[in-house]
Amino acid sequence: MVASVITRVKQKQIVQLIAKGKRLDGRGLMDYREIKVEQGIIERAEGSARVLLGRTEVLVGIKIEIGQPFSDTPNEGVLTVNTELVPLASSTFEPGPPDENSIEIARVVDRGIRESKAIDLEKLCIEPGKKVFIVFVDVYVLNHDGNLIDASALAALAALLNTKMSNYEIKEGEVKIKPGHTPLPIRRHPITVTFAKINDKLVVDPWLEEEQIMDARLSMAIDDD
């Protein structure tokens, strides 16, 4: 009972401060929390990155495999994004199959990369209609303190920029891996920005307690253009 009263008082304080153009953590309405990015931290991945957005922590690993293209894009490689909300990251996360929150994060991250054409997928084609490189983007939320979408999208981009592809050649219809690596063909750098609407105010990069009282959320991906 005491905890719930404290929570209601704190939520009221958050709303009152935002109405005055202030925030409980000292930021302005359009200020992000401190951002830290670290790349190349998973040794066995083709690429990886860890992002700290305030106390929100996200880890992304990239794996590349050879597979078949989609029938409607025979000359393009394949991008697939998956998100796992690690139960230790929040008391609200549970083990098991992906829930609607993890699916939403994966879709937003995927769309930002795909719609901006951040990866030159045509350069991932080995044999049109037969063999292409498949890029797996695996997102792991390690600590949840709000704005998982922006943290996940930034970590995914940082990991892709860190990704190296194995060199290869085709001999007698078979793909042979050669020594050396080539950077993943990245041509744009989409950044996702999330706003929360609280009453008649918009705040960027909502932290967890702001998300709990927000009326709506808007996320948009912006690229170099």
Tokens 């199959």 appear where? Answer: 97
Q: Mind listing the domains of the chain with CATH numbers?
A: 30-222 (3.30.230.70)
Interatomic CA distance for residues 33 and 141, integer angstroms: 17
Instruction: Please say whether the beta carbons of 78 and 63 come within 8 A.
Output: no
Instruction: Please say whether the beta carbons of 160 and 118 come within 8 A.
Output: yes
Instruction: Please say whether the beta carbons of 77 and 69 come within 8 A.
Output: yes
Instruction: Please say whether the beta carbons of 91 and 183 come within 8 A.
Output: no
pLDDT score, position 3? 42
∠ CA 88-90-96, rounded to 5°? 65
Residues 6+ apart with CB under 8 A from 150: 53, 192, 193, 194, 205, 219
Instruction: Please say whether the beta carbons of 53 and 154 come within 8 A.
Output: yes
pLDDT score, position 5? 45
The single-letter code of the amino acid at 102 is S
Interatomic CA distance for residues 96 and 87, integer angstroms: 10
Per-position pLDDT tens, the chain of length 225: 334 444 888 889 999 999 999 999 999 999 999 999 999 999 999 999 999 999 999 999 999 999 999 999 999 999 999 999 999 999 889 888 888 999 999 999 999 999 999 999 999 999 999 999 999 999 999 999 999 999 999 999 999 999 999 887 787 777 877 888 899 999 999 999 999 999 999 999 999 999 999 999 999 999 876
